[in-house]
Amino acid sequence: MAPLRDEILAAVTDVIDSTQYILGPKVERFEKNIAAYCGCGYGIGVASGTDALLAALMGLGIGPGDAVLTTPYSFFATMGCILRLGAKPVFADIDPVTYNIDPARMAEALAQDARTGKRIKAIIPVHLYGQCADMGAILALAKEYNLPVVEDAAQAIGAVYPLKNDGRTVWQRAGSMGAAGCFSFFPSKNLGGIGDGGLITCNDPALAERIRIIRVHGGAPKYHHGVVGGNFRIDPIQTVVLEIKLSRLPEWHRARRRNAANYRRLFAQTGLQESGAVSLPEAVYEAEGAAVGEECDYHIYNQFVIRAKDRDGLLHHLQRNEVGAEIYYPIPLHRQECLAGLGYEEVSFPEAELAALETLALPIFPELTEAMQGFVVEKIAEFYSR
Ligand SMILES: Cc1ncc(COP(=O)(O)O)c(C=O)c1O
């Protein structure tokens, strides 16, 4: 933020002087730029990542009596939007390496749903921590069951996935593969605003138009409401800042990748992986891309998440040493109190439950120095040497 301060202040001043504070040409320009960056035809700016998910599901007609298949291991908004529409979340457990929804478990859930009433009307995979879910397998299931896919790409702007089409591999960006992609510009995201913000990407002009109308209370033309929408608008003050930051995004992605490589090197010197104390995140698409010299945002490391023995003890040790480590997420979605009495007590998703007990995110922001990372790893080694 500091090096961009003058540029940002000038852009914000320009918005203030323009007196156009809601939507307008600056928002439209940003929507086009983000859509192009993601490789999509349309972008619709909204007030948050949460509103992006809500408006996308509304645009697809999800409502009471429907079910939506998703992961039990994500930020609450992924499930919250399903519940707010009167629909029911159905979960499929995660892959223990990527923490993303496991297509094999999805196939089981979809087959069961087909036998018991076909209530599932959409699928929401989450590209958790900055790495795409296995979209090839997910899209194949979506095709088989004729379901739209809403990508929760809140943590993964710019991350690429090797999508196979007629034997050819096309590296596609998060949010460009399903019916819609949902992004968050919460300040801690790789592309973060100076407040809340979000965006929906899609390639279907009819869906884009429906979501645009839903964004303004369902009014089209103004004051004529064929559908019920909401106030999901983004302000140009956010979009001018985000547009400046978008030009730096590739550089920040690179810095986060460098930091991930630094952690790998520093941990390799400790023996902590061999002893089973910690395991590091894997960029699972990297080998395939490196082999053909393709793009390199295989993982954008919104979070660098390790698995750790005695995770809570380690977290306290790091906090005592003023290391900003965090747990994302301590309670899987199916165990949240708001679902009490709805039958989720009987279901279990062992990989999500284990991840909630074992994972810990280490600092990885672009400005992190190697010396700071050395300190983090030293403190982790210190904890396990006691
Ligand atoms: C996976 C995921 N989904 C949805 C959201 C919601 O985004 P926001 O906080 O912008 O509403 C977030 C971010 O916080 C997220 O990480």
Ligand 1 pocket member 174 (CB < 6 A): no
Ligand 1 pocket member 126 (CB < 6 A): yes
In terms of Cβ atoms closer than 10 Å to its own Cβ (0-12, 13-18, 19+), residue 221 is: exposed
Q: Helices marked H in 165-285 — which ranges?
A: 205-215, 236-246, 249-268
Q: How far is CA 270 from CA 85, 342, 383, in A?
A: 49, 46, 12
Atom in ligand 1 nearest the alpha carbon of residue 51: 11
168: which strand partners? 165
Q: Whose CA is nearest to atom 5 of ligand 1?
A: 49
- Model pLDDT, residue 354: 98
Q: Give the pTM.
A: 0.97
What are the backbone angles phi and psi of residue 334, rounded to the nearest 5°?
Answer: -70, -10
pLDDT digits (tens, 9 = 90+) for 151-183: 999 999 999 999 998 889 999 999 999 999 999
Distance, CA of 74 to CA of 98 (rounded, Å):
12
- Model pLDDT, residue 291: 78
Say which residues have a Cβ less than 8 Å from residue 382's Cβ, sequence separation at least 6. 317
Interhelix angle 25-38/236-246, nearest 10 degrees = 40
Distance, CA of 131 to CA of 267 (rounded, Å):
21
Mean pLDDT of 219-234: 96
CA of 29 to the centre of ligand 1 (A): 23
Q: Is the pLDDT score of 294 beyond 70?
A: no
Q: Is the pLDDT score of 38 beyond 80?
A: yes
Atom in ligand 1 nearest the alpha carbon of residue 155: 16
Mean pLDDT of 14-23: 97
Say which residues have a Cβ less than 8 Å from residue 244's Cβ, sequence separation at least 6. 4, 7, 8, 11
The string of DSSP codes covering 184-217 is E--TTSSS--SS--EEEEES-HHHHHHHHHHHBT
Atom in ligand 1 nearest the alpha carbon of residue 196: 10
pLDDT digits (tens, 9 = 90+) for 89-119: 999 999 999 999 999 999 999 999 999 999 9
Distance, CA of 351 to CA of 72 (rounded, Å):
9
Say which residues have a Cβ less than 8 Å from residue 36's Cβ, sequence separation at least 6. none
What is the longest distance spanned by two Cα atoms in the chain?
68
Q: Is the pLDDT score of 1 beyond 70?
A: no
Distance, CA of 277 to CA of 269 (rounded, Å):
14
What does the angle CA 345 – CA 94 – CA 129 come to, to the nearest 5 degrees? 115
Ligand 1 pocket member 95 (CB < 6 A): no
Distance, CA of 323 to CA of 376 (rounded, Å):
7
pLDDT digits (tens, 9 = 90+) for 41-100: 999 999 999 999 999 999 999 999 999 999 999 999 999 999 999 999 999 999 999 999
Q: Is the pLDDT score of 376 beyond 90?
A: yes
The string of DSSP codes covering 101-149 is BPHHHHHHHHHHHHHTT--EEEEE-B-GGG----HHHHHHHHHHHT--B
Q: Which helix (H) or strand (E) holds 55?
A: helix 49-59
181 touches 175 (CB < 8 A): yes
CA of 151 to the centre of ligand 1 (A): 12
Ligand 1 pocket member 150 (CB < 6 A): no
367 touches 254 (CB < 8 A): no
- pLDDT confidence bin for 24, thresholds 50/70/90: very high
Q: Is 219 helix (H, G, I), strand (E, B) or coil?
A: strand
39: which strand partners? none
Ligand 1 pocket member 60 (CB < 6 A): no
Characterize the bridge pairing of strands 359-362 and 304-308.
antiparallel
Q: Is the pLDDT score of 275 beyond 80?
A: yes
In a mutational test of the pocket of ligand 1, which residue from 50, 57, 124 has the highest number of ligand atoms less than 8 Å from its CB?
50
Ligand 1 pocket member 196 (CB < 6 A): yes
Say which residues have a Cβ less than 8 Å from residue 292's Cβ, sequence separation at least 6. 169
Distance, CA of 223 to CA of 164 (rounded, Å):
45
Atom in ligand 1 nearest the alpha carbon of residue 197: 10
CA of 348 to the centre of ligand 1 (A): 24
CA of 378 to the centre of ligand 1 (A): 32
In terms of Cβ atoms closer than 10 Å to its own Cβ (0-12, 13-18, 19+), residue 83 is: middle
Number of neighbours of residue 340 by Cβ within 10 angstroms: 10
Atom in ligand 1 nearest the alpha carbon of residue 74: 1
- Model pLDDT, residue 386: 86
